[in-house]
Structure 1
Amino acid sequence: MTTTSMAEVKKKFLSQTKFAVIGASKDQSKWGTKILKWYIERNKQVTPIHPREAELEGIPTVQSLASLPHPKDTAVSIITAPPITLELLKKARDLSIPALWLQPGTFDDDVVSYIEDNGMQDKAIYGGACILVEGDDIIKSML
Structure 2
Amino acid sequence: MTSTSDMQSAARLFFTSTNIAVAGASSNSSKFGYRIFAWYLAHKLVPTPINPSSPSVNISGQNFATVSSPAKLSDPKSTSLSVITPPAVTKELLKEAKDVGIRSVWLQPGTFDDSILAWAREAWPGALVGGFDKGTRGGEGWCILVDGEKAKKAAENDGKL
Aligned to 1:132: 145
1:42 corresponds to which letter in structure 2? H
CA–CA distance in 2 between the matches of 1:103 and 1:68? 20
Structure 2: give runs of 5+ residues left out of the alignment: 132-140
Structure 1: give runs of 5+ residues left out of the alignment: none
CA–CA distance in 1 between the matches of 2:123 and 2:94? 12
8 Å contact from structure 2 (residues 98, 123) kept in 1: no
Distance 1:141 1:123, change over 3 A: closer
1:43 offset after TM fit, Å? 1.8
The aligned length equals: 142
1:43 aligns with 2:44: yes
1:141 offset after TM fit, Å? 2.3
RMSD: 1.3
CA–CA distance in 2 between the matches of 1:22 and 1:42? 18
2:29 corresponds to which letter in structure 1? Q
1:80 aligns with 2:81: no
Distance 1:95 1:9, change over 3 A: same
CA–CA distance in 2 between the matches of 1:91 and 1:54? 20
8 Å contact from structure 2 (residues 69, 93) kept in 1: no
CA–CA distance in 1 between the matches of 2:73 and 2:115? 26
CA–CA distance in 1 between the matches of 2:129 and 2:150? 16
